[in-house]
C-alpha cells in the first residue's frame, strides 16, 4: 500500500494510492499519517477497507505533501556508504554516525527546494528513507524490520558551509526549511521485502550524479535501527534517512552545488520518483 498526504501545504489529507494507481481519501479511517496511525494494526485495517474508500475525483493528481504528518524525530545517518566516505575524505565509521535534523525541514517529495539566503554550497544526497511504525529501545537487529512502517525516497539536502565550516555541527547544514523532501509516498514494508537490494539514482538537470544500490550500505537498515535504539528511544512516526552513496556535489572536482533553477530527479526501486525544482530563498513552502 502507498500512503500519501494530499492537498496544499499544512492542510493535507491522508490518502492511499490503490493498486490501480488511483488516489483514495482515507480521512474516514485516519485523521492523518503519523505515529498513532502507522502501526501494523491500523495499516491492516486501512488495507482491508481500501477498496471502499472514496476516489478523489475533483483533482486526481494533487500536490503530495510529505507522507508523514507529524514527525517526532528526524534522524540522519552519516557516511553509510564506504565510497561516499572516501569522496568526503573520511574513514568509514565503525559505529553509525547519528545526527538529529529538525523535522521542520521536511517537505513533499516534489516540492520546491529553497536555498538559504547567501547559500553557496547547498548539495544533494539521495537516501532510502525509513519510517518507524513501532517504537522501542534496545531493538534486536533480527526484529528491527518489524518496527518499520514503510519506506520512501528522501533527499538529505545539506548546506556544506553550514555543515562543515561553521563548527562541524552537521544538524546546522541539514535543517533548513525544504531540505528534507520525503515521498512522493510511503510504501508499506510488505511491498519492500528486502530494503538492501534497491537501485537508487539521482539526476541533476538530466545528468546522472548518484547511482548505487542499498546493498552497498555499511550498516543495513536493521542494524541501524538496532544501534540507534541503544542511544535513544525510537518512536512510531520517527523518520530515519540511511546515508547517501557517492556522487554528491561536494565530492566532485571541482565541487558543484545547487543553483536556483536546477531540476532534480530521484528514483529508488519500488518507491517511485521525486522531481524538484531548486529556487532562491525567497520562496517558502
Q: Which residues bind Zn ion (CB under 5 A)?
A: 125, 156, 244
| Longest Cα separation, the chain | 55
Radius of gyration (Cα) for the chain, nearest Å?
18
In the complex, minimum distance from the CB of residue 129 to Zn ion, in angstroms, rounded to a whole number: 11
Closest approach of Cβ 40 to Zn ion, in Å?
Answer: 28
Name the strand (E) or helix (H) holding 100. strand 97-101
Supply the minimum distance, in Å, between the C-beta of residue 99 and Zn ion.
8
| Minimum CB distance to Zn ion smaller for 111 or for 156 | 156
- Which H or E run contains 159? strand 158-159
For Zn ion, the closer CB: 175 or 244:
244
Which among 65, 160, 80 is positioned nearest to 128, based on CA atoms? 80
User: In the complex, what is the shortest distance from the CB of residue 155 to Zn ion, in angstroms, rounded to a whole number?
Assistant: 9
User: Alpha helix locations (H) across 128-257?
Assistant: 141-144, 160-164, 170-173, 221-231
Nearer to Zn ion, 3 or 76 (CB): 76
- Looking at beta carbons only, is 123 or 262 nearer to Zn ion? 123
SS3 16: strand
Which of 24/174 has CB closer to Zn ion?
174
Distances, alpha carbon 45 to alpha carbons 6, 26, 37, in Å: 20, 11, 10
Cβ 88 to Zn ion, closest distance in Å?
A: 11
Q: How far is the CB of 249 from Zn ion (least distance, A)?
A: 13
Whole-Å CA distances, 247 to 126, 200, 253: 10, 12, 11
Closer CB to Zn ion, 84 or 134, in the complex: 84
Q: Residue 82, SS3? A: helix
C-alpha cell at 224: 541501524
Amino acid at each position: 500500500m502507498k500512503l500519501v498526504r494530499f492537498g496544499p501545504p499544512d492542510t493535507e489529507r491522508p490518502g492511499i494510492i490503490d493498486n490501480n494507481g488511483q488516489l483514495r481519501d482515507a480521512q474516514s479511517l485516519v485523521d492523518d499519517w503519523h505515529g498513532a496511525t502507522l502501526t501494523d494494526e491500523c495499516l491492516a485495517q486501512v488495507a482491508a477497507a481500501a477498496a471502499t474508500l472514496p476516489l478523489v475525483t475533483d483533482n486526481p493528481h494533487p500536490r503530495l505533501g510529505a507522507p508523514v504528518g507529524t514527525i517526532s524525530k528526524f534522524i540522519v545517518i552519516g557516511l553509510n556508504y564506504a565510497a561516499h566516505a572516501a569522496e568526503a575524505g573520511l574513514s568509514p565509521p565503525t559505529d553509525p554516525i547519528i545526527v538529529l535534523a529538525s523535522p521542520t525541514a521536511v517537505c513533499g517529495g516534489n516540492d520546491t527546494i529553497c536555498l538559504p539566503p547567501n547559500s553557496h554550497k547547498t548539495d544533494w544526497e539521495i537516501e532510502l528513507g525509513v519510517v518507524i511504525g513501532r517504537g522501542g529501545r534496545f531493538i534486536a537487529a533480527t526484529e528491527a524490520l518489524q518496527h518499520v512502517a514503510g519506506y520512501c525516497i528522501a533527499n538529505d539536502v545539506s548546506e556544506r558551509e553550514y555543515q562543515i565550516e561553521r563548527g562541524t555541527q552537521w544538524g546546522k547544514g541539514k535543517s533548513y526549511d525544504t531540505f528534507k523532501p520525503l515521498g512522493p509516498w510511503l510504501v508499506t514494508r510488505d511491498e519492500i521485502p528486502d530494503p538492501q537490494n534497491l537501485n537508487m539514482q539521482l539526476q541533476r538537470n538530466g545528468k546522472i550524479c548518484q547511482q548505487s544500490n542499498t546493498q552497498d550500505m555499511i550498516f543495513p537498515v536493521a542494524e541501524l535501527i538496532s544501534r540507534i535504539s541503544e542511544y535513544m528511544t525510537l518512536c512510531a512516526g520517527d523518520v530515519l534517512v540511511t546515508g547517501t552513496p557517492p556522487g554528491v556535489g561536494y565530492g566532485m572536482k571541482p565541487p558543484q552545488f545547487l543553483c536556483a533553477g536546477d531540476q532534480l530527479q530521484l528514483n529508488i526501486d519500488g518507491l517511485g520518483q521525486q522531481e524538484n525544482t531548486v529556487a532562491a530563498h525567497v520562496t517558502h513552502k
